[in-house]
């Protein structure tokens, strides 16, 4: 990434603020996140050897309250660290570790007003952009279920809402309709079919929020962005080691975590695949994830939750599709893109998956029934 004249122009200033050990020998853009600017920093230690860190410029167009966001992350990781330690785990590798600035702060605000943070780099791990084996996906399911279980008694009222209505699908639908009506770049006429697909499903958008409002589904502390590249696997044992990207840990429904993992990992193609004939819901992976997730949650999900998980999968996929399409219509201002039409390609894969879920709905429900009571 060219750091001249960009939001990252102050990267050198930021690096100097954090309490990293040794002499900086390498700095490069890192990972495939769609939101923050992520860098890997390598330091040579005076006693020999290297230490690596992740430096991120937080996207504060999206996260309007970066200070509160960091407070969430510090508190949640502190809480997890205690549980991991008490279970004999390795907290430096099994959760994120925030590196403070020399002044003892959890973030640095540069002279251009950008917010930066640093984490210990979690060594000897792999980050997957696509499911490579059913076992990996199963392990990720257990880990996400476990994550929710570990946070079951976390004081949810102390968490700041980092993005209001993040998975409130009816609000996402309204935002989508507004983007269509405004049609800022005159792109709507190019995507009539996709817009119609989204509009036809308005009735689905409120199914989960209505159940929540009626007290039929419990509010939990959830991750809310459970795609496979937000988990690190141990390089050697290939176990799901650490859940990262904690920017959106907030009260939510189990369906959000379940559904977001399914839309990314149980698809037969990548999120931005252009050849839609390659995109389907892999029912076998759907079952694998269901089993692992329920196991990870340790039997804590209610009957009604398990029964309605297929709707979580469908709605999270649909919601992501309308978010990508709205961003395409608004001129690609939210998700990072790497080619023209990238957000449109992403929206199309999500809608193809939604259609395939509708075709496979009975099977999805049967899988839920099979694991009821787990
Ligand atoms: P975004 O919100 O943009 O998705 P993430 O926090 O998910 O940003 O980071 C982007 C990528 O950087 C991750 O997918 C992962 O590959 C890598 N990454 C982030 N934090 C760490 C860490 N502490 N150790 C190792 N890799 C990390
Ligand atoms: C973003 O940050 P990242 O790349 O892990 C987005 C998610 C979307 C996802 C789609 C804060 O996730 O909500 O589902 O892209 N995160 C935010 O790939 O909007
Ligand atoms: Mg991420």
Q: Which residue has the tokens 């999270």?
A: 316
Q: Which atom of ligand 2 is nearest to the CA of 263?
A: 14
Segments in the chain forming alpha helices (H): 11-17, 66-86, 91-94, 134-150, 169-182, 192-200, 207-213, 254-265, 283-297, 303-330, 342-359, 361-370
* Max Cα distance, the chain (Å): 64
Question: Which ligand does the CA of 246 lie closest to?
Answer: 1
Q: Which atom of ligand 2 is nearest to the CA of 229?
A: 5
What are the b/e assignments for 180-206, b being 16+ CB within 10 Å? beeeeeebbeebeebbebbeebeebbb
- Cβ of 230 below 6 Å from ligand 2: yes
- Cβ of 350 below 6 Å from ligand 2: no
Question: Which ligand does the CA of 324 lie closest to?
Answer: 2
pLDDT tens per residue, range 108-159: 999 999 999 999 999 999 999 999 999 999 999 999 999 999 999 999 999 9
Going from the Cα of 337 to the center of ligand 1, the distance in angstroms, rounded, reads: 17
Question: Which ligand does the CA of 229 lie closest to?
Answer: 1
What is the best residue among 32, 33, 81, 116 to mutate for testing ligand 1's pocket, by most ligand atoms within 8 Å of CB? 33
- Of all protein residues, the one whose alpha carbon is nearest to atom 15 of ligand 2 is 34
Cα 63 to the center of its chain, rounded Å: 14
Q: Which atom of ligand 2 is nearest to the CA of 247?
A: 11
- Cβ of 240 below 6 Å from ligand 2: no
Q: Which atom of ligand 2 is nearest to the CA of 320?
A: 14
Give the other-Cβ count within 10 Å of 133's Cβ.
11
Q: Which residue has the tokens 């029934």?
A: 369
Going from the Cα of 53 to the center of ligand 2, the distance in angstroms, rounded, reads: 22
- Cβ of 224 below 6 Å from ligand 2: no
Under a CB-based contact definition with an 8 Å cutoff, are residues 13 and 46 in contact?
A: no
Going from the Cα of 232 to the center of ligand 3, the distance in angstroms, rounded, reads: 11
Token duo for residue 133: 């084996």
- In order along its 374 residues, the chain shows pLDDT tens digits of 444 447 788 999 999 999 998 999 999 999 999 999 999 999 999 999 999 999 999 999 999 999 999 999 999 999 999 999 999 999 999 999 999 999 999 999 999 999 999 999 999 999 999 999 999 999 999 999 999 999 999 999 999 999 999 999 999 999 999 999 999 999 999 999 999 999 999 999 999 999 999 999 999 999 999 999 999 999 999 999 999 999 999 999 999 999 999 999 999 999 999 999 999 999 999 999 999 999 999 989 999 999 999 999 999 999 999 999 999 999 999 999 999 999 999 999 999 999 999 999 999 999 999 998 77
- Cβ of 272 below 6 Å from ligand 2: no
Going from the Cα of 36 to the center of ligand 2, the distance in angstroms, rounded, reads: 10
Q: Which atom of ligand 2 is nearest to the CA of 224?
A: 13
């Amino acid at each position: 990434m060219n750091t001249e004249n960009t939001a990252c122009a102050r990267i050198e200033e930021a690096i100097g603020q954090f309490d990293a050990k040794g002499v900086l020998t390498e700095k490069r853009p890192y990972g495939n996140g769609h939101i923050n600017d992520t860098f890997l920093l390598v330091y040579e230690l005076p006693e020999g050897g290297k230490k690596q860190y992740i430096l991120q410029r937080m996207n504060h167009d999206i996260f309007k309250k970066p200070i509160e966001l960091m407070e969430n992350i510090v508190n949640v990781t502190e809480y997890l660290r205690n549980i991991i330690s008490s279970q004999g785990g390795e907290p430096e590798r099994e959760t994120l570790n925030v590196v403070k600035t020399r002044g003892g702060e959890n973030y640095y605000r540069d002279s251009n007003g950008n917010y930066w943070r640093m984490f210990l780099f979690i060594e000897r791990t792999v980050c997957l952009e696509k499911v490579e084996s059913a076992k990996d996906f199963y392990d990720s399911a257990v880990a996400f279920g476990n994550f929710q279980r570990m946070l079951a008694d976390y004081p949810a009222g102390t968490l700041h809402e980092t993005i209001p209505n993040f998975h409130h699908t009816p609000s996402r639908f309204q935002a989508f309709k507004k983007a269509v009506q405004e049609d800022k770049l005159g792109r709507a006429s190019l995507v009539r079919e996709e817009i119609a697909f989204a509009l036809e499903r308005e009735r689905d958008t409120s199914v989960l929020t209505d159940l929540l409002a009626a007290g039929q589904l419990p509010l939990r502390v959830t991750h809310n962005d459970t795609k496979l590249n937000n988990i690190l696997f141990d390089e050697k044992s290939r176990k799901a080691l650490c859940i990262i990207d904690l920017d959106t840990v907030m009260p939510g429904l189990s369906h959000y975590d379940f559904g977001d993992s399914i839309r990314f990992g149980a698809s037969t193609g990548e999120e931005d695949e252009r050849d839609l004939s390659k995109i389907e819901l892999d029912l076998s992976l759907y079952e694998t994830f269901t089993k692992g997730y329920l196991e990870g949650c340790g039997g804590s999900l209610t009957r009604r939750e398990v029964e309605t998980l297929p709707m979580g999968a469908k709605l999270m996929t649909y919601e992501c599709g309308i978010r990508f399409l709205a961003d395409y219509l608004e001129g690609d201002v939210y998700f990072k893109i790497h080619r023209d039409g990238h957000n449109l390609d992403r929206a199309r894969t999500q809608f193809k998956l939604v259609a395939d879920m509708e075709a496979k709905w009975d099977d999805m429900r049967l899988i839920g029934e099979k694991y009821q009571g787990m």
